[in-house]
Amino acid sequence: MPVFLSSSTKGGRKVSYRVLLTRSGVMKEDRESNRFQGWPFHAEERREDGEINNGAFDLISQPHKIDSIHEATDANGLRPLIKYLNRPVGCFMTLGCAAGIEDDGLYYSYLELTIRYAELARSTDWPQEFEQKWKHFLERAESQTEGIRHLLEESCRMTYRHFYLRPEIDRRLLVCMDLRAVSEAHHRILISHAQRFFELLESGELN
């Protein structure tokens, strides 16, 4: 099992990233996505369906910009999760998200994220290990709350795809978490479990 080590300085503090990788994951690659290919993407005019794309923001260097992401709220749980993932000493960075009610009445969201460490972010290994850590988390959660594994498996789908980090046109990989819930309140509960997953993952408790 290879170990990738990296370090960087954030606000005067040295941050080390330690990620264990395996090749045993089975996350599916999304080759048909019509979402952005280059990041950061630019804001767009209001669409015919009323949707608004405010563009991409580097929330690590500009955390206040989260106020411009109207999809991320405390009510649906995305705002606290995104703030957590983009904190100065974290291992991840978020790239984009959306949330709302689908035609069938279900509440949906997606959140795209990547690893901050450039060498690892270019490797197909990291999404697969991410998938394995998620499965480990589900097993752990089920041992504490019966039925939660099935709920999360039915409500959350993960895929990965390539994108380009501008301006260097650096080809990397991102993971997309798609969630479906019966209501905004239910979605917030699902997101709280996702945040717990990231907390355990970054603390090394899922190794």
11-63 pLDDT, tens digit each: 333 333 333 333 334 688 888 776 667 776 665 555 565 566 666 788 999 99
Residue 42 confidence (pLDDT): 63
Model pTM score: 0.81
Across residues 82-98, what is the average pLDDT?
Answer: 95
The answer to whether residue 6 scores a pLDDT higher than 90 is no
First to last CA, the chain: 11
Give CA–CA dist 91/114, Å, rounded: 9
Enumerate residues 6+ apart whose C-beta is below 8 A from 149.
Answer: 138, 139, 141, 142
Residues 173, 162 contacting (CB under 8 angstroms):
yes
Residue type, 167: P
Q: For 29-91, what is the HEC assignment?
A: ECCCCCCCCEECCCCCCCCCCCCCCCCCCCCCCCHHHHHHCCCCCCCCCHHHHHHHHCCCCCC
Helix (H, G, I), strand (E, B) or coil at 160: strand
Give CA–CA dist 187/145, Å, rounded: 18
E strand or H helix at 140: helix 125-144
Lowest mean pLDDT among 30-34, 44-48, 83-87, 192-196: 44-48
Enumerate residues 6+ apart whose C-beta is below 8 A from 25.
Answer: 127, 128, 129, 130, 131, 132
Give CA–CA dist 68/9, Å, rounded: 27
In the beta sheet, which residues pair with residue 157? Answer: 178
Give CA–CA dist 8/10, Å, rounded: 7
pLDDT in tens, 114-172: 999 999 999 999 999 999 999 999 999 999 999 999 999 999 999 999 998 877 788 99
